[in-house]
A and B are shown apart, each in its own frame.
Chain A
Amino acid sequence: MSKTQNAIISSVRTVMGWVPAQWLPGGTPDPLIERRAAIGRQASRLDGPLKVAGEARFAAEVAMDRLCYAALVHSPVTRGRITRLDTGAAETAPGVILVMTHRTMPRIGTLPLIGITDLSAVGNSSIPIMLDAEIRYNGQVVAAVVAETQEQADHAASLIEIDYAIDAARTRFQDARPDARTPASLLMDKNHVSIGNAERELKRAPHRVDNMYRTPAQNHNAIELHAVTAAWEGDSLVLHDATQMIAPSAAALAKLFGLKREQVRVLSPFVGGGFGGKGLWDHQIVAIAAARLAGRPLRLMLSREGVYRMIGGRSPSEQRVAIGADAEGRFTALLHTGYSVMPPYGACPEPYTLGTRALYGARSFEIMQRHLDLDIVPNTFMRAPGEAIGSFAVESAIDELAHAMGVDPIALRLRNLPERHPISGAPFSQHALGQAYAEGAKRFGWDRRHAEPGTVREGEWRIGMGCATGSFPYARMPGANVRITLRGDGTAVIACSAQEMGMGTATVQAQHAADRLGLPLEAISVELGDSALPAAPMAGGSSQTASIAGAIAAAATKLAGELLRLAGNDSPIAGLRAGEVQLVEEGIASIADPTRRESYRSILARAAREAIAVTAAGSAPLEFLKFAMHSSSAIFCELRVSAVTGEVRVDRLLGSFDCGTILNPKTAASQFRGGMIMGLGLALMEETLFDERSGRIMNPSLADYHIPAHLDVPEIDVIWTGIPDPRSPLGARGIGEIGITGVAAAVANAVFNATGKRIRDLPITLDKLL
């Protein structure tokens, strides 16, 4: 990300500052904020019955004639090159169709890296995929075996003999520091923020904390393994993939394999969890190329170890957070700097300082991240990249400051809530963190907390409470298209290529469309997961719901125009313009005089049409360049720590969220809870054991890489303010990622309250508490 980008975005923001709000998308609040019938209901997931009946078909389950199977060989070496490659035994093994290595891999280019300028740029790595003998990280794919059965492919893969010339590799976090790079920008924001002289303010401050916080590398562990079924039909490619970027992948693959956009179809109707990991990686490319060489449809499903070896996860980080405060507790200095890993061939920074820019006011700021270059599988986005670990550092530091000052940590936070965005000065679209804290604290029983650490005991257990703020920015992506097909029988179909990863996308958009079109929920069906449908952006940045909602709203406006045209002069609505009507009660009606109306059935019947279809794109998402749009949360935790063993057991967790309109309480609560459970893992156990001597991940399995087991997960209470955001479609902001944010700090702060020990190094394992 470049300085040019900084300049462009900064000037757009400046211009947006001058533009009156009502000119912008969201300038007039979405009428559905007030007019809801299906939205806000506890609707069960539309895909639920299919999934419990085992009828939802995932990428590794698509049946095909003459299907063959692939297995991969990964480099156990971190840097070097292949000096000998003997595939003879594998090629003659039973059932083997072919072995593909860098010698036989079709010559293709490299993927453009994920960026914000080109929506088809979705590569996680710019390293050539099996095109040369170079080894650039441990786990890199060096060969693929294609066979009649999976077992034959797996076995033959074990017969391939490879010798490597080993070069020195960069694998040590601390050793890489002297060569750290300072990027100009992080995603859409400038990296370096300097307001006032924060170091000087810090030195002068009557109260201050200044500490280092460390978070480990983590790996993706979606329940569904990465899988792809690839079939060439002549020069056209059909790819059944487990992906959270259907249309962008189709576009990128077309470019990579020299095909026209319409020659590539990517299908992914259901995804068994994405969390940022289900993007475009080497395995899809290898599978497509191998299917072409084999001349047969091909399936490649990664093993769990394979996911660790070739799908990047969350970068480790080392963060300095320093806060200076005046006698009243107002922040005079806020410093957040540090290191994370991002190899130059990777695409995804770990932007742990982004949240710090928006949450609290301060007289001075110093914020900057540095990237370390290691020879690793490129890290990628993992649920709430940045905020998940950045909030651990900042929200721990605030708790430390509150303790040092002898004030309540909630009061200290509320004292520093800003009126406007602390860096850009933009007005908040809606922000009620104070209310979230008040309601959360009351429900949780925060007033029962003893401020003095280590004072509550129950047998060998020390009991403590902690809280922390979570946050995540609102985003709506450009390039969201939706088709609405309205049928003569009064039903409608919403279609776009968006991703259903288990969070309820189809369900909430059906609810939305029902209200947008004035139809009962049962009349709406939703088609997703196919790049042949109107293109939707990737599911990322908690933006999918708002992005599709914006497109449905635009398509509904277009539909109103079509209906007016179709209704003609013999209709009660004749003569009205699109801006003068609304879609209500299964028809179209004048806003000024609701008695002037005609039903959809009547309009279509008179026009002798079975259906009409319109496709539209959502408006340009300019609202979040003018307004500061952020969701926030107050997370509360009560836990116990054994005075004997240091074991931590979390007893209660509560999340109080301020995320705009909640479209479906059932799916929303599930998203929040899932995120909070992932936060518990971040706090207490998740850690990739990356052996710095070899550059190899040593715990590539769910037995050795710990995520919370059922017994680790307590009752999780979830509440929300439900205050609509006047600047977003439906008043909603994304909720997919905020659940994980703040949890690690709430746990760490509760551990401090229980024991008096401050753990600044995740995960909080028992040895740190002995």
Chain B
Amino acid sequence: MTPISYSRATSVAEAGRLADGAGARLLGGGTNLVDLMRKGVERPSRLVDVSGLSDAIELARSGSLVIGAAARNSAVAAHPLVRQRYPMLARAILAGASAQIRNMATVGGNLMQRTRCLYFADVAGSRCNKREPGSGCDAVGGFNRYHAVLGTSPACIAAHPSDMCVALAALDARVQVSGPGGDRMIPLVDFHRLPGDRPDRDTVLDPGEVIVAVELPASPFAGRSAYRKVRDRSSYAFALVSVAAGLTMREGRIEEVAIAFGGIAPKPWRASRAEAVLRGGPAAGAAFAAAADAELADAAPLAGNAFKLALTRRTLEAVLSELTGGSL
């Protein structure tokens, strides 16, 4: 048997120490990592269980909400402060996976989950640059219905699967990380990498770095926010497209706006171009369409996922219309 050592970290420092080195993986709820181990995609030699680290959900003096990396997804979604101040996040989490998986999955683990590309998962029969750099990509000419249209590279078109992270991206969340080089705070939108020519690296985490918490700054969007997920069945399916959006209105115009997309990019996709089009402008259908156009201008659709352009556009326009009080 391939020997695997398993240990439970009792502190962030211990987790970092144990996790520093080749073959080590941090284990949260195991809802993705264990599946990947069974398939042979991940072959760690050391598992460091970090589910015993902080799962606290607390208000910081700064007004930010700090969510411990070991907090379970279901606990976050049910937390009164999350539901009051960040309803978009609660909805995003509840749109993901199944109740059983949400009860196990942790916030830190959700950030680290890997793509559900069918070719990535098929160790025995398919080529994948994310799994084995330089081996090639069978998804480009194959089944790519679930794949990305934005931010892809010739090496990889895999989409990031998370719902939670899409809301976090829209909410300007920061990831608190601790490692051998000290502590640092990484904006969520910079936490995940675009594939480029290194699709095997999903995040900017350095070896030995441990996710400690996710911080949510005070949000002005609690009153007008939404998470809309479009999928192939009513539950237990990954997003074809998802939209997290929040905005404020002033005198009939959009004042502040934050938008992020899921299901269409290798990372939770903050739609800064769309936001720029909308900010300060009228809450009108033409503006919504222009915002979608701006964000999708660089899209690179394939045979199996070209429909996502229209779907993203329509979903964004519907969400904005709803949030600005219009009807369809």
Contacts and interface: CB of A to CB of B under 8 A. Distances in A.
B125 A76 contact: yes
B240 A138 contact: no
A770 B310 CA distance: 8
B100 interface: no
Interface stretch (B75-83, B230-238, B286-294): B230-238
Nearest to B35: A703
A439 B328 CA distance: 38
Interface string A642-673: 01111101000000000000000000000000
A34 interface: no
Given A691-B142, A709-B234, A709-B236, A644 B315 contact: yes
A693 interface: yes
B169 to A, nearest CB: 21
B123 to A, nearest CB: 9
A460 B318 contact: yes
Which of A152, A696, A699 counts the most B-chain CB atoms under 10 A from its CB? Answer: A696
B40 interface: yes
A645 B314 contact: yes
Interface string B232-270: 111111001000000000000000000000000000000
Contact of A694 (B2, B125, B318): B125
A16 interface: no
Which of B124, B145, B311, B317 counts the most A-chain CB atoms under 10 A from its CB? Answer: B124
- Give the bracket for the number of chain A residues in contact with chain B: 35 or more
A134 to B, nearest CB: 18
A42 B124 CA distance: 50
Interface in B194-245: 230-237, 240
A570 interface: no
A44 to B, nearest CB: 28
Given A155-B1, A709-B233, A712-B233, A645 B142 contact: no
B124 A74 contact: yes
Contact of A693 (B141, B233, B237, B311): B141
Interface string A674-691: 000000000011000101
Which of B124, B125, B141, B240 counts the most A-chain CB atoms under 10 A from its CB? Answer: B125
A459 B311 CA distance: 18
Given A138-B125, A694-B125, A704 B116 contact: yes
Contact of B232 (A94, A460, A691, A766): A766
Contacts of A460: 318, 328
B116 to A, nearest CB: 7
A158 interface: yes
A711 interface: yes
A342 to B, nearest CB: 24
Interface string A695-711: 01011000110101111
Contacts of B318: 460, 644-645
Contacts of A447: none
A765 interface: yes
Interface in A598-656: 643-647, 649
Classify the interface of chain A: helix, strand, loop or mixed.
loop
B118 interface: yes
Given A643-B328, A693-B141, A699-B118, A770 B314 contact: yes
Contacts of B122: 696, 698
Contacts of B116: 703-704
Contacts of A703: 116, 236
B40 A158 contact: yes
B167 to A, nearest CB: 19
Contacts of A685: 232-233
A767 interface: yes
A580 interface: no
A522 interface: no
A132 interface: no
Interface in A737-770: 765-767, 770
A770 B232 CA distance: 13
B235 A698 contact: no
A152 B235 contact: no
B236 A770 contact: no
B86 interface: no
A336 B256 CA distance: 59
- Give the bracket for the number of chain B residues in contact with chain A: 20 to 34
A163 interface: no
A685 B142 CA distance: 19
A706 B233 CA distance: 8
Contacts of B230: 645, 647, 766
Interface string B134-145: 000010011101
B233 A708 contact: yes
A605 to B, nearest CB: 58
A467 to B, nearest CB: 23
B191 interface: no
Nearest to A711: B234
Nearest to B328: A460
A685 B122 CA distance: 22
Nearest to A305: B39
B79 to A, nearest CB: 24
Contact of B328 (A93, A155, A459, A646): A459
A419 interface: no
Contacts of A643: 328
A151 interface: yes
Contacts of A694: 125-126, 138
A698 B124 CA distance: 11
A459 B318 CA distance: 11
Contact of B124 (A76, A689, A706): A76
A696 B328 CA distance: 43
Interface in B280-328: 307, 310-311, 314-315, 317-318, 328
B118 to A, nearest CB: 4
A138 B122 CA distance: 13
Contacts of A152: 1
B311 A766 contact: yes
A649 B138 CA distance: 33
Nearest to A692: B142
Given A138-B125, A693-B141, A766-B240, A711 B328 contact: no
Which of A459, A645, A708 counts the most B-chain CB atoms under 10 A from its CB? Answer: A645
A767 B328 contact: no
Contacts of A693: 138, 141-142
A138 B315 CA distance: 39
Contacts of B145: 767
B67 to A, nearest CB: 26
Contacts of B234: 649, 709, 711-712
Given A459-B328, A766-B240, A645 B311 contact: yes
Interface in A59-75: 74
Contacts of B124: 74, 76
Interface string A129-161: 000000000100000000000011001001000
A767 B315 CA distance: 13
A711 B99 CA distance: 13
A644 B328 contact: yes
Interface string A500-535: 000000000000000000000000000000000000
Contact of B235 (A459, A645, A691, A711): A711
Contacts of B233: 684-685, 706, 708-709, 711-712
A94 to B, nearest CB: 6
A645 B319 CA distance: 11
Contacts of A767: 145, 307, 311
Q: Return the 6 tightest CB-CB contacts between A and B, nearest first.
A: A711-B234, A767-B307, A76-B125, A698-B118, A644-B318, A76-B124
13 contacts: A460-B328, A644-B315, A645-B315, A647-B231, A689-B118, A689-B143, A696-B125, A703-B116, A704-B118, A706-B233, A766-B232, A766-B240, A767-B145
Given A74-B124, A645-B318, A709-B234, 16 more contacts: A76-B124, A158-B40, A644-B314, A645-B314, A685-B232, A685-B233, A694-B125, A698-B118, A698-B119, A704-B118, A708-B233, A709-B236, A710-B235, A711-B234, A711-B235, A767-B307
